[in-house]
Amino acid sequence: MKKVLLLVSAVALAFLLSVTQQSNASGGTGSNGGYFWSLYYSGGSASITFPSGGGNFAISWSGCSDMVGGKGWSTGSAQSIGYNVGSASGYNVIAIYGWTTSPLIEYYVCELGSNANGTKVNTVSSDGHTYTFYKHQQVNQPSIQGTATFWQYLDNWGGSSKGANHTVTMGNHVNNWKSNGGQGFGSYNYQILACEEWNGGSGSVNATVW
């Protein structure tokens, strides 16, 4: 998980590239189909496309030491998020991922795979599942505000399925973080359904968020 922590923070380093049509966009952020997207990778190669518009995205990668990307909103909220992971292979984690500012916090709600790391705080029941809440401090690591020290909130479940519609009620997670996280919860920055890989292998994902 140490690598995961560095990886997800690396999203903030993705250089800006505005793309508003279906295209490959290796390394960047932009908009498509009314949604915000982000892709970051280091080493190897990766690309993101938007086969069906709307909240749909597809990412393929090979030989990346780290890769994280997905689609969602430039400003998140305590909303109910729907998603369908149609297919995925070679990933480590698929999660609702985002940032807040004041305080600076990086957060995950892990739906597939695992990002369990740090100090276990408590558990939260949401959408028929039990998530374990971990918190971890990142010291002098990349963030959306440059190199900084900040906390990560990690809600870990990982038992979701592919090819079916699912819901993440963010309000349940946010309320628990506010009450029990110890650092509160700041103003929303971006919030995406993210696929992450850090093993240097190859893989792909096709998913839709709404």
CATH number at residue 17: 2.60.120.180
How far is it, in rounded angstroms, from Cα 193 to Cα 191? 7
Are residues 168 and 127 in contact, defined by beta-carbon separation less than 8 angstroms? yes
How far is it, in rounded angstroms, from Cα 70 to Cα 93? 12
How far is it, in rounded angstroms, from Cα 1 to Cα 85? 22
Paired residues of 151 in beta bridges: 105, 137
- Cα atoms in the Cβ-side hemisphere of radius 13 Å centred on 34: 7
Token pair in block for residue 58: 């597809």
Q: Where are the alpha helices (DSSP H) in the chain?
A: 2-10, 170-180
Strand pairing class (80-89; 45-49): unpaired
Q: How many helices (H) and strands (E) does the chain have?
A: 2, 14
Strand pairing class (148-156; 105-113): parallel
Residue 17: which domain range? Answer: 2-209
Query: Which of 14, 140, 21, 31 shows the shortest CA–CA distance to 67?
Result: 14
pLDDT tens-digit map of 96-147: 999 999 999 999 999 999 988 999 999 999 999 999 999 999 999 878 898 8
Are residues 152 and 177 in contact, defined by beta-carbon separation less than 8 angstroms? no
How far is it, in rounded angstroms, from Cα 112 to Cα 95? 7
Amino acid at 161: S
pLDDT over 90 for what percent of the chain? 78
Of the chain, the end-to-end C-alpha distance in Å amounts to 28
The predicted pLDDT at position 115 comes to: 87
| Residues identified as active-site | 106, 196
**Residue 95 backbone phi and psi in degrees, to 5:** -150, 160
- Asked if pLDDT for residue 11 goes beyond 90, the answer is no
Following DSSP, what letter does each residue of 3-37 receive, concatenated? HHHHHHHHGGGPPP----SS---SSEEEEETTEEE
As for how many domains the chain has, the answer is 1
pTM: 0.85
pLDDT tens-digit map of 19-53: 322 333 357 899 999 999 999 888 899 999 999 99
